[in-house]
Amino acid sequence: MGLLTILLIAIGLSFDTFAVSISSGLALPGISFRNAVRIAIVLAFFQALMPLIGWAAGTGLSKYVKDYDHWIAFGLLFLLGAKMIYESLQKSDEKSSFNPLDLKVRVVMAIATSIDALIVGISFAFLEFNIALAIFIIGSVTFIVSMLGMLFGKSVGTRLGRRMEIVGGIMLIAIGAKILIEHTMLA
């Protein structure tokens, strides 16, 4: 597998992370660079870890995860998105409890957006290439894409206000629905 192929896979895997990062930027329009890095590191870590786990597990795990991965991702993203929408509709002086700086929220977002990477990792088990290089590229691309997504969400959020949290919540639910539809249409 060539470097270009791995890069294209990394970009493809990072689309969901980009949307989640935009939602994080919308939820935290005053986010500092340091805090954005904290979020991006967790997202990138899980996006790189999942292919490694998939590669190590090979085909033994795929039959169990493959049947439910889309439902797990949809459920997690739906819950996060619904919570974000609900809180944005509350009184504007109340602080949102959707806080991507909370480690638990970051981990849930990271797992939900990296389940597909686990399946990709399983396919890596059948190919001859440097798995360390692949996970480095996947993690690096995800980190960069996450930072860009938060920057975009932050800039849009400060201009359009708290109502944009609804858009962020809808985006999370849409990502989950996209994952669910893609996997059920292929089944």
- pLDDT value of position 94: 47
Judge whether residue 83 has pLDDT over 70.
yes
> Mean of the per-residue pLDDT values for the chain?
81
Q: Within 13 Å and on the Cβ side, how many CA atoms surround 149?
A: 25
Question: How much is the pLDDT for 56?
Answer: 86
